[in-house]
Amino acid sequence: MAESTTQQTRVGWDKPDLDLSKADWRSSSQGTGDVQIAFVEGFIAMRNGGRPGSPSLIFSPGEWRAFVLNARDGEFDLT
């Protein structure tokens, strides 16, 4: 099965169609299910490294900054 490398346009989706086929994906670890990010055309793409063909999340720089700051503050902790 061929891997999809571009985002599909969704209703209300304010992000551009990004070609992720040549993205330089970076991992934080070597584990399965590892989160990977790539910087593409001024946006940040995030995907599941264990399933690279699954859809990627696309963040604007402001959205990415808010996500990182909130993660550092523990907003997404399960405890």
Distance between CA atoms of residues 48 and 37, nearest Å? 9
Q: Residue 66: pLDDT above 90?
A: yes
Q: Residue 1: pLDDT above 50?
A: no
For residue 31, the model assigns a pLDDT of: 59
For residue 3, the model assigns a pLDDT of: 45
For residue 2, the model assigns a pLDDT of: 43
How much is the pTM? 0.71
The tens digit of pLDDT for each residue in 38-58 reads: 999 999 999 988 888 888 999
For residue 79, the model assigns a pLDDT of: 73
Q: How far is CA 78 from the centre of its chain?
A: 21
Q: Residue 6: pLDDT above 60?
A: no
Alpha helices, DSSP H only, in the chain?
A: 61-72
